[in-house]
Structure 1
């Protein structure tokens, strides 16, 4: 073989190795608890769902080597601030309270918060409808904050759960009268169980519910935030976002 060709091939190989080595590794925290249709492990333990597809698309666009890192939801912000993970992709709403501790990328989806009950309950998604009812919520969520602020004074009890699935199962069993969560998460639940229905969205409270969902980042990690923002805009523009989203939803969840 021509010596010049050998040298060229060797140099090309070294360049590929160097490029791989230079790829920035980002440990992306997701909630260890399943949260379909956004994140959940399959039978083989591989993480799947809309947010996993989103993460893969964004990281590919930004040329980042992203590694899924499951973390218990109620410890996911401390894991970020203590450098155990580098980003959070976990349906985390951008709120003023969270912005005191962490930064966020631009939003990547925005859907309403709703109330689900047993079918035919007659409950409405407001203080009057939830008077003397037992309401289930997942801890460390905007929904817990909302229920505590708006319904705790009228409810018979606010029951807190480590996972949304636990709250949903208590609704099925009749141990709570209602649950509050994101509309898409509860839509997946009521479609999988004929017991229950969504009775409507709660009145918006931007101070609690925030301005959409973003990627959580450490304060001052501006370079990574800019990479994510640029990538989010790019996949929205080039159609990648719509392409993977239509596997899960028949509407644009990006919202207003």
Structure 2
């Protein structure tokens, strides 16, 4: 891993800070830590890191408010690290601008995998903003955004306009959880009814077309009560 990749950890529990710091240092990341929200925000503004690991239960400010404040001026990837397990807490964090959510306790492998996904997504967006958006490709599935084409093991899959919008949104954010509300807002508009039924119907149709076994999806996974996550893009 590039030693110039800088990660800021905002976490009030010293033992968790120490665990994450040692894990990330061993992988070549540069790590800077803060024990509370105010020092964390100050650190982030001065360092402008590549990624932020943020606890929600901070002593001086709720982590959701920290996410909202950072999102007013920066698009740095934010991974929430929290003991809060309720679905609505995860949805709120993601809808407020977090890129991912890890529930305590967690292992080093999960932490590193989520970090790699967030960094790849961030760098891909930066690269693709300088040229046309390259197709999504993973395990035989190709989504060509410019040509509005979906191929599964070389065979053209016909998707309706709405189905293609859903698949494209998930593909462009592959590896990340997209909440139901985010998908609905992006596909049907900000004033769309937030009833998930129309999204579930479309997703059922998409899975019938893309999945060998829709009951055990390989490409688009359900995060129960939260949203959907698409198999990570493996294209270089």
* Structure with bigger gyration radius: 1
Q: Structure 1 length normalisation: TM-score? A: 0.28
Q: Which has the higher contact order (CA 8 A, sep 6+)?
A: 1
